[in-house]
Amino acid sequence: MSLPTLTLCRTCRDADPALFGQVRAALEAAGVKAQLQQVDCMSGCKQPQTLAVRQCGKTAYLFGGITAEDLPDVLTFLRMYEGSRDGNFADARPLGNLRFKAVARIPADLD
- In this structure, what CATH number is given to the domain that contains residue 16? 3.40.30.10
Q: Which helix (H) or strand (E) holds 50?
A: none
Q: Which domain holds residue 73?
A: 5-106
Domain assignment present for residue 29? The answer is yes
pLDDT of amino acid 45: 84
Contacts of 5 (CB under 8 A, 6+ apart): 34, 35, 36, 37, 52, 53, 54, 55
Q: Is residue 66 part of a domain?
A: yes
Neighbours of 40 (CB within 10 A): 8
Domain tally, the chain: 1
Measured distance CA(110)–CA(101) in Å, rounded = 26
Q: Residue 111 domain-assigned?
A: no
Model pLDDT, residue 111: 62
35: DSSP letter: E
Residue 46 domain flag: yes
pLDDT at 73 over 90: yes
Average pLDDT over residues 31-57: 93
Helices and strands (DSSP H and E) totals, the chain: 2, 5
* pTM listed for this prediction: 0.93
